[in-house]
Structure 1
């Protein structure tokens, strides 16, 4: 019966499994490749080992652990890919259902239609004074509203489309800014605008909502669907 040296043959086995045993060996590309190579080499070594000098179990155990780890990583990648695909599909369906809906997003655009417009502001803390300044496309101030004392959180306001002199202005897109304070101390004020979703557009692996104003907003940036 022919025998082989246990240590050298085990090292050869490890090298072969890792694709380093000679120029003709190719590196396994998957856990299944490694497993097939391992079983083939293990069978050969068991048939030719020296009974008085058996192969090193520690090295065999190490190789098995490598195979198990690679299988686990590949399985995790497959699971994550599947979850991402499911998430994208769910997001697409949800986004499609948003067409025609009104949404609240961060922004300072004020769309006047039929003499009516709505806007809002998120206050970081309670304020004793909240002032909204509305401007036209040229940057000229059209109207100023004093909202008075307001609590922290979202505060809504309406505009009837009239300027400071009480004259009705034309429908269209306007902008607004907000200044808030509490006993003379500035309060954080983030303007929010009301928009209507007209379309859903794919942007890479995600979707964005296109508003009737022509603006686009990320699905995750919507503060509220109305």
Structure 2
């Protein structure tokens, strides 16, 4: 009689049992569906039996459900990988300047740099520098500008206060006023990955979704 290894035999049996359990869980939904289909066929009205088209339709449904489940699992896996990659990229942004929608002016060494987006080309563009009270304290004439993203620089007059300054863009094409979206700069202090999205902790705008960032410098 051939001898058997009780240890290896037990391990193999355990692994086989685990494999069978995993497969059973995976195919549980399919098994239930097929059992219902068989029961339905056994108890069908003999005078009005299911035809081939009905059976084919039932089987097509289970194939569709199984395919959707596998697709959802693949998408979930891909989303997780993309999020991890995005989180790693976000960590490299700490300490860097970013561009996002907003009209605050940040003055560094006597100069402020910001930008704006134009829906269409403009014949005339000017940027109004506003005090905290909303009063125009200076104007930057930029002339004609192309559609899309544009930038400007403002030199602070000697002795002028730089606290709480904002700006407003006035763009025209002929007599028509154009839509201009102000863009401001901010600095990334930290990155957070709570929930299922990446967020940046900005110096002036606080917690900001990564998707709102227009540009990185």
Give the TM-score of the pair, scaled to structure 1. 0.69
Gaps of 5+ in 1: 1-28, 47-54
Shift of 1:36: 6.7
The yes-or-no answer on 1:78 pairing with 2:73 is yes
Residues 1-226 of structure 1 mapped to structure 2, 5 A cutoff: 31-35=27-31, 38=34, 58=52, 60-162=55-157, 167-226=158-217
SS at match of 2:200: strand
Larger helix proportion, structure 1 or 2? 2
The total of aligned residue pairs comes to 186
Distance 1:98 1:145, change over 3 A: same
2:11 corresponds to: none
**1:88-144 CA distance string (max 9 Å, x none):** 112211211111221111111111133221011222222222111112223233222
Distance 1:41 1:107, change over 3 A: closer
Kept in 2, the 8 Å contact 1:31–1:67? The answer is no
Shift of 1:151: 2.5
Kept in 2, the 8 Å contact 1:35–1:67? The answer is no
Distance 1:177 1:129, change over 3 A: same
> 77-86 vs 60-69, which deviates more?
60-69
2:5 corresponds to: none
Shift of 1:203: 4.9
Shift of 1:30: 6.7
Give the TM-score of the pair, scaled to structure 2. 0.72
Gaps of 5+ in 2: 1-24, 43-48
SS at match of 1:209: strand
**1:130-175 CA distance string (max 9 Å, x none):** 111112223233222112222323221111222xxxx332344411
Distance (Å, rounded) in 1 between the aligned partners of 2:33 and 2:179: 65
CA RMSD of aligned residues (A): 3.1
**1:23-66 CA distance string (max 9 Å, x none):** xxxxxx97534327747996xx99xxxxxxxx967365444333
Distance (Å, rounded) in 2 between the aligned partners of 1:148 and 1:204: 45
Shift of 1:74: 1.3
**1:174-221 CA distance string (max 9 Å, x none):** 110010112222122111112221112335311122221143332122
